[in-house]
Structure formats: C-alpha cells, structure tokens
Structure 1
Amino acid sequence: MSTLSPAAVAAATPTDRNRVVDLLRVAALSVVVLGHWLVAVVVVRDGALETGAVLDRATWTHPLTWVFQVMPVFFLVGGYANGLSWRRARQRGDGATDWLRARLCRLLVPVVPLLLLWVGLVLVADAAGVDRAALRTASQVALVPTWFLAAYVVVCALAPLTLRLWERHGWASVVVALALGGVVDVVSLTVGPWWVGFANYVVVWGAVHQLGYAWLDGRVGGTRRRLGLAAVGGAGLVTLVALAPYPVSMIGLDGAAVNNSYPTRVTLGFLGLLQAGVVLAAEPVLRRVTARDRVWWLTVVLGRRMMSVYLWHLTVMVLLVGAAMLLGGPGLGVEPLSGVWWATRPLWWGVLAVATAGVVALVGAAEDVRPAAGPSGAWRPVAATVLGCGGLGVMAARGLVGTDGLSWWWALLPLAGVALLSGRTAGRAARPAWR
C-alpha cells in the first residue's frame, strides 16, 4: 500500500470519507507516543539507573497536560467511527455479534505479539536471576498503553447500546453520563471504596465517545456552537480544579492523593468537551489540509500501523534503556531537565522512532488480521471483552511481576479472548484499510 503514489491513494479513497477523522486519530496517538518519550526521566548516576517523570519534577508542566493529554480526542474519533460502522452494519443486516467480533479483533489481535514477547522476557530474565523489582518496573512501564485499550474495548463493546441512547436522547445522554461520572467520583473520594472510581473508565470515556456521535450526526455544527462546547468544557474543568480536590495535571502523578487519570475522573470528561470543541472548530481547516494528496497519503500510511506504534513504543524505550545499561549507560548521563537534556530530546525521539519503526515493520501485520466469516455465538465477543479488558487492565496497573512474585498469567486472559474471536480460522484484510 505504501508503494502507491499519493495521487493513487487519494483516488482510491471514497469521496464521502471524512479524512479529518483519520488525521485526528493519527495525530492523537502520535502526541501520546512523543509525550511518553518526553516525560520519561531516565538517568545513570554512579552506575545506577534512576527513573522518574518530568511531571513529578517540574510542576510548571502540569497546565500543559490540558493540551497534551489527548486521549479524549481518540475517544471522540472512536465515537464517530464506531457510530458510522455500526449503522452501516445495521443497513447490511449484520448483527451486533458479528460487528463486535470484527471490531474487537482489530483491537486485540495487535496486542498478541507484545504479550508473547513480555511473557517470554519475564520468564527468561527471572530464570537468569534478574532482579524482580527491575522486571516489575520494566514490564509495568512497557505495558502502560494497555490501560487505554482495556477502556476502549469496553466502550466499543457497548457502542450498539450507547448509539441507541444517543439516537433516542441526544445530548441528554452526554449530560447524564457526566453527572454520573461526578457521582462516581464523590463516592470514590469520600465514603469509598476508592476502586469505585474505575467505573469512570466506562462512564466518563463513554460520555466523550457520545460526542463522536454528535459530530457524526451534525449536532454540533457551526464554529460558534463548537467554540461554545469548548467554553463549557473549559469552564467546568477550571471550576473542578479550583474548587474540588482534582489536581491541575490531567496525567497521573506519582504519589498524588488524587489523580485525574488513575482511575479516570470526571475532569477528563470536561477536558473532552474542551478538546472536542477546539478540534471541531478547526475541522474546516483540517479538511483543506487532508485534501492535499501528500498529507492524506502520509495519514493513510501512518494510520495503518498506528496501533502497533502505540502498543510498542514504550517497550522499545525500555529495551533500548536496558541495552544501554548493559553497555555502561551511554547517552543516559545527561542531567534531567537541564538545557542539554532538553536540547537532546529531538535526538532521543529520533532514535526511539527509528527503533520503533523497525519493530512495527516486523509485527505490524497483526493489524491486518480479521476474523473469518462464519457463525459465531454471541457469547464469544462478550467473553472476549471481559477477558481482554480484565487482563489488559491488570497488566497496565502492575505489569507482569507483582510484589509477591511473577504474574505473567494475566497475559493469558486477552490471549484467550483473541482465540475466542478467531473461531476456526482467521484471515487477512481483503482490501486496503483506507477503503
């Protein structure tokens, strides 16, 4: 596909495709990848590796997370894409089971190579006597991206239901979801238990997902209305941060009493309103940008492998840091947040980008796998959702090494979910992804 000329790719793209959706998806995941590489603080002092995060060392960066915490944009795009896809499936007479099976396959199959690698690494490294604390940190950092996948899998599984809610109740479904997210936070932060807050991985991100339906149906048309949506989100976010115990940073902080992202808080729902309003106000400009053949070609090329880039970018970073330590720590001696450190960040990005591209070239074909056509019980996608979400969620929180020993078997849950989705056979995508 990448060998086709920009003009050929543009000509093969349906005229009714909203190219801005694809552009925002690629842009959002790119920002996440570059952001993760930037905030990671890795330095060698006296032969010992020290790790941390920029956000924990420099409070002046916290307001910047209102721009760089872009997962709300991805859920906005997901709502648009899932709503369009499910409606087309209904028109063809396809059932929710087959639609969900195909959707989950696209999300869960790409994670299989990553999990197999880390299970193998953990078992081999532990047998070789590698410190388990180091293994726990490495696997936890590398598998952080799976938190998003766990939440998105559930939101996608509920798309037929949430789209029906949108079609019947419109904006009320968004308002009620945000209100419910606030109630969940109150319970979690006061009477407890604190883990009640994990319900907002579905409630709050589901509310942002509803905004994608509004975009799809033209219910947030016009620049004035879109900027109004951004103003509502911004006002709500400022109010919550100023009057409630929510921190300024929209990305989790180590040791913070309250985090906005672990578990997800209602603040991220209002951040979703803010960001949705801003990017939708820019849609006319973005349409003109994506109308250029070269821009669209690049969007298509990156888009076909963006999930693999997202899943593997921290694994690549962890492995490169590990390899550097084995060689004595070259390149890891620069003092974090110093002028030299900031000046070398583009070089850091470049090295990681090249290495990630190489890895994705090897494993990216997993994104093209689709379930074979054929009968499939409704229990399969439901079970795959539970297994995938459960396993990925636990691994995102603790990696594959717990305080009480190895816990690699959590990886078996999403792998079992993929096996259920595959059925008897699995096939490759029959046509280019941009179609």
Structure 2
Amino acid sequence: MTSTRLSRAARVDAATPASRNRVVDFLRAAAITVVVIGHWTIIAVDADGGIQPHGVLDGARWTHPLTWLFQVMPIFFLVGGYSNALSWRSARRKDLSYGQWLRTRLRRLGIPLIPLLLAWLVIGVVAVVAGAPHVTVQLASQMALIPTWFLAAYLMVILVAPPCLVLWERFGWFSILGGVALAGAVDALSLVTDQPLLGYPNYLLVWAAFHQVGYAWLDGRLSGAGRRLLLAAIGLVGLLLLVLVGPYPVSMITSAADDISNSSPTRITMAFLGMLQAGLVLSLEKPLTALLRRPGLWFLTVLVNQRIMTWFLWHLTVMVGLAHLLLALDARAVLPEPLTGLWWATRPVWALVLLALTGLVVLVMGRFEDPRADDRPAPAAWKPVLAAVAVIAGLAVMASVGVVGESGVTWWWPLLPVVGMWVFGVIRTPARG
C-alpha cells in the first residue's frame, strides 16, 4: 500500500509541467485548510446556549489579533488573481471568447454548489414541516452557508477580471492604488452615515483591487525579497493606522464584541491585510518551491485541490449537523463549556471527528467537481454574465439570512443560482444538448 501511494505520488510529480507554479496550488490548499479548521474552532457549541456563531471571538478578545493570521481569504484572491490572469491570457491566445471563458469558470465553481443548495432546501422544508422553530433553522442554514459569501464575492471578481487585467497591463500599480482609494471613499461614506449597506460595493472594489496583486505576482512585478517585504510593510502600517487611529476593530472576522465588522461588509482593512499576508507568504516562495519538489507533499497538495470546492462548501454543514445531533441528545459529556480548559483541550479531537465526517461527504459529493467536458459553441457573453448574477444574488442573501424566514422556507433563494445556471446555459443537461 505504501509503495503504491509513493508510486502514485511519483507519477503525479513527474506529470506536472515544469512551468507550473506549485506554490499557487499549495497556498490555495493551505488557505482552505486554515479556513476549515478556523471555522470549526471559533464556532462554539454550548449544551445550554446552542450554537454560537462567533463564540470564541465574542468571549475571548485576546483571540482578535490572531485573526490577522487566520483570516486568510486574501490568500484566495491572491492565488485567484494569478490563476485568472493566466487563464484569461491563455484564452486570448486561443481566440476563446469572454463568454466561453466565463462559462468554463462558472461550471468549475457553480456545479459543486448545486447539491449543497438543494440539500439545504430539503433540510429547511423538512425541519419546518416537522415543527422546528424558524429561528433555529434560519441560524443553522445561515451558518452552514457562510462559505457562500466568499464564492459570491469571488464570482464578482471573476466577472471583472479581464477588464481589470487590461487596467493592470496599462497602469500597473496605479490600477491597484486607484481601486483601494475608491474603496476607502466607499468605506468613509458608509461609516460616516452609519449605513453598512453603503459599504457593500466594497465586496467588489476591495477584492477586485487586491486580486490584481496576483497579476503583479504572475508578471514578476513582485520579484525579490525587497519588494515583497515592502508590500508586507505597507500592509502592516496601513492596518495599524486603520485600527489604532481609525475606527476599525482589531478582529478581521466578525465579532459581536465589535461595533464594526471588517468582513461584513468587506472593509478597506482587508486590502491591507492582504498586502501584509501576500508580502510575507511570497517571501517564502523560494523555500516553498523547493519543498513542493518532494513528491509526497506535492501529491497531497494536488489531492486537496482536486476536491477543494467540496471541502470548502460542506465543512460547516457537517459541523452544524453534528452540533444539532449532540444538542438533541443532550450529550453534555462531549460538549464542555466553551472557552474552558477542557474545551480547548478537546478542540483537536473535535476537529479530527469533523475531518473524518467531512471526508465521507467529500467522497460522495466530490464527483461534482469533475463535470463532463463542455464542447458546446461559445455562448453570447450576456448568458454566463446573467447566470453569474443569479448565483451571486442567491448566495449573497443566503449567506446573510439562510433559507428560512419568519414566514417559512424562502425556497426561491437556493433555487435562484440553480435555475440561473440552467436557464442561461452553464449547466449542460441532455435536454439542452
């Protein structure tokens, strides 16, 4: 068995093109691992109080500075910028249209989403019919679908990635500076008027601006330790000024202990956090590249990336399901009081159990990450654009309020992304050829 695994690892290593930047794949896999373990840790389950979405952050302010390390969504946008620029340039060389390129990206991200949305639609209906309190089902579904906020933001960035690449190729760093400045103006308006909704454009502005740092990485504009450390220094100084002098909280993850959230809506602090993180991790690119020449580590990286969407989308559904089972059984022996010594000591066991259960789900649902080849003619650009808008709209709402409202199941929100992808031709069905 061991020799078989080693031989598979060696084959994967040998089949990887020398031109492939393995660090991109590694950072993506590492970031998803941090996100998953982070969610399993900060969400507390109290035998008396139920599920506490940000229990650790709400009850232990000393953990807030740690979010500068564990809020790694910027790393996804960093590697996304690298990958999307590489992909779009390849499409241009092959004379592929924007519509065809976007449809391909949507299929990769959207098809694995379908079973999760349909599952929560069914769970919501069954739970409500069975008499479960609406507020309980709403919280459960909202928590389980938290990962979809990132997917909604990432799809928005993908929509504008090609024109942003044009801006980068023409204006370089000024395109990033302009985006960050515009995001700062949006933040200022939102904070001065005390209207968080006015800050929602920054889900696009902040991430689209920082996404271009991935372009800079690809184009060699961040080569050398000096430039990378300078980027990290800019990020650190910006964060310190915004947190110590400005109105922003220390925690980069939403906490009830703070009046303002850095992540809901996305604030300009996330752009500077991204610069800090990008500068630091890219400073390690050379030793990471050497490590990833080891077949075993590279094989593990490839495995995680093959099912990365499934891990990401389902890990909180598994946790919510296990938590509600234990609460229903009143299993106090395995639900110690949050933030006690026993609670902290049992977190590794909690994570391992959830890892095993999520692994089973990945084995079943992972096949949705391998859709059959799409050899249809290129679509008109408006079709995948409208499909993306439908997905973004549905996910944005569910990430905030779940699938159940005061009047019952809001079935149209989980169906909107599915129907949108079907009507506008992203999903390929036999009936549509």
Shared topology, TM-score over 0.5?
yes
* Higher mean displacement: 321-330 or 241-250: 321-330
Structure 1 counterpart of 2:411:
408
Matched residue type, 2:235: G
For residue 389 of structure 2, the aligned residue among 346, 368, 386 is: 386
Counterpart-to-counterpart distance in 1, 2:189 and 2:144? 31
Aligned CA distance change for structure 1 residues 320 and 331 (closer, same or farther; 3 Å)? farther
- For 1:19-418, what aligned pairs fall within 5 Å after superposition? 19-45=22-48, 49=50, 51-52=52-53, 53-191=55-193, 193-254=195-256, 256-369=258-371, 372-375=374-377, 376-418=379-421
- Cα shift readout 1:333-362 (whole Å, capped 9, x = no counterpart): 312111111111000000000000000100
Report the 3-state secondary structure (helix = DSSP H, G, I; strand = E; otherwise coil) of the residue aligned with 2:50.
strand
- Alpha-carbon distance in 2 for matches of 1:238, 1:229: 14
Please report how far the alpha carbon of residue 257 of structure 1 lies from its aligned counterpart in structure 2 after TM superposition. Answer: 1.9
| Alignment check: 8 A CA contact 1:214 1:220 kept | yes
Alpha-carbon contact 1:80-1:216 (below 8 Å) kept: yes
Tell me the distance in 1 between the aligned counterparts of 2:372 and 2:105.
9
Does the Cα contact within 8 Å between 2:47 and 2:332 map onto a contact in 1?
no
TM-score, normalised relative to structure 1: 0.94
Residue pair 1:43, 1:332 contacting (<8 A) in 2 also: no
Q: Kindly provide the CA deviation profile for residues 241-283 of structure 1, in whole angstroms up to 9, marking residues without a partner as x.
A: 1111100000011263211000000000000110110011010
Q: Tell me which residue corresponds to 1:432.
A: none
Instruction: Report deviation, 1:323.
Output: 1.7
The sequence identity of aligned pairs, in percent, is: 51
| Partner Cα separation in structure 2 for residue 406 and residue 284 of structure 1 | 51
1:42 counterpart SS class: strand
- Residues 143, 399 of structure 1: 8 Å contact kept: yes
Match for residue 426 of structure 2 among 394, 405, 422: 422
What CA distance in whole angstroms lies between the structure 2 residues aligned with 1:66 and 1:50?
24
Q: Call closer, same or farther: CA 1:218–1:318 in 2, change over 3 Å.
A: same
Q: Which amino acid is 1:388 matched to?
A: V
Distance 1:4 1:336 in 2: 44
Structure 1 position 327, deviation (Å): 2.5
Q: Is the 8 A contact 2:107 2:427 kept in 1?
A: no
Count of residue pairs brought into register by the alignment: 424
Pairwise CA distance, 1:418: 2.3
Distance 1:133 1:286, change over 3 A: same
Q: Does structure 1 conserve the Cα–Cα contact (< 8 Å) formed by 2:51 and 2:323? A: no
The answer (yes or no) to whether the contact 2:336–2:342 under 8 Å persists in 1 is yes
Give distance in 1, aligned partners of 2:144 and 2:129: 20
CA distance in 2, matches of 1:162, 1:4: 42
Show CA shifts across 1:384-427 (max 9, x none): 1110000000000000112343213201111123212435548x
Contact 1:372 1:423 in 2 (8 A): no
Counterpart CA distance in 2 for 1:415 and 1:50 is 29
Taking a change above 3 Å as real, the CA distance of residues 91 and 50 of structure 1, as seen in their structure-2 partners, is closer
Partner letter of residue 73 of structure 1?
Answer: I
Separation in structure 2 between the aligned mates of residue 4 and residue 388 of structure 1, nearest angstrom: 41
- Specify the code of the residue in structure 2 equivalent to 1:313: H
Task: Tell me if structure 2 keeps the 8 A contact 1:372–1:425.
Answer: no
Please tell me the residue identity of whatever aligns with 1:393: A
Aligned AA (1:42): V
2:145 and 2:399 in contact (8 A); partners too = yes
Other-structure match for 2:18: 15
Gaps of 5+ in 2: none
Q: TM-score, normalized by length of structure 2?
A: 0.95
Distance 1:378 1:228 in 2: 39
Cα distance in 2 for partners of 1:331, 1:286 equals 42
One-letter identity of the residue aligned with 2:263: S
Report how far residue 377 of structure 1 moved: 2.1
Inter-partner Cα distance in structure 1 for 2:181 and 2:333:
48
Matching residue's letter, 2:273: L
The answer (yes or no) to whether the contact 1:371–1:421 under 8 Å persists in 2 is no
Q: CA offset at residue 49 of structure 1?
A: 2.8
Question: What letter matches 2:338 in structure 1?
Answer: P
Superposed CA deviations along residues 208-257 of structure 1, whole A, max 9, x for unmatched, are 10000000000011011100110011000100111111000000112632
- The CA deviation string for residues 90-130 of structure 1, in whole angstroms up to 9 with x for no partner, is 10111111001000111111110100100001101111111
The separation in 2 between residues aligned to 1:4 and 1:135, in whole angstroms, is 47
Q: Do the aligned residues in 2 keep the contact of 1:145 with 1:311 (CA within 8 Å)? A: yes
Q: In the superposition, relative to structure 1, how do residues 240 and 309 fare at CA in structure 2: closer, same or farther (>3 Å)?
A: same
Paired AA for residue 172 in structure 1: F
Counterpart AA for 2:203: Y
Which secondary structure state, in structure 2, belongs to the residue aligned with residue 5 of structure 1? helix
Asked whether the equivalents of residues 76 and 208 of structure 1 are also in contact (C-alpha less than 8 Å), the reply is yes
